Amino acid sequence: MSERRSIFIGKKPLHAYVRAVVMAMEEGNREVQLVARGATIGRAVDVAEICRRRNGVIAQGLPSEVVIGEIQCSSETLIQDDRERTVSVLTIELDGIGEVPSEEE
């Protein structure tokens, strides 16, 4: 089994990450994972739900079904300015099932 393509969620608008998922799945990576730390965890959940429901014009390029797989919650210790800081990390697996709609439709 090949390793999942990771999409790291940051502070860009939601549609940028939805488009990243669409592009990955159009390229044949039907198994992707969203990775978010700290304050961006909510944005990762929103991206996963938009992809699952195929909401919006951008998400219409996804396969006919997107399933949310395993969700992992953990924490990482970061060193910043000589201080240790613990941040939460959320990983959401997305699996694309079915065909990607063609551009002509």
Task: Using pLDDT thresholds of 50, 70 and 90, give the confidence band for residue 98.
Answer: confident
pTM of the model: 0.88
Number of domains, the chain: 1
83 in a structural domain: yes
CB burial of residue 14 (10 Å; 0-12, 13-18, 19+): middle
3-state secondary structure of 73: strand
Per-residue pLDDT of 44-89, as tens digits, reads 999 999 999 988 788 888 998 999 999 999 999 988 889 999 999 9
CATH number for the domain that contains residue 87: 3.30.110.20
Q: Is the pLDDT of residue 104 over 80?
A: no
Looking at the chain, list the stretches that DSSP marks H as alpha helix, in order from N- to C-terminal side: 14-26, 41-53, 56-59
50 in a structural domain: yes
CA distances from 29 to 23, 86, 95 (A): 9, 31, 9
Q: Which pLDDT score is estimated for 73?
A: 97
104 in a structural domain: no
Tell me which residue range forms the domain holding 27. 5-97
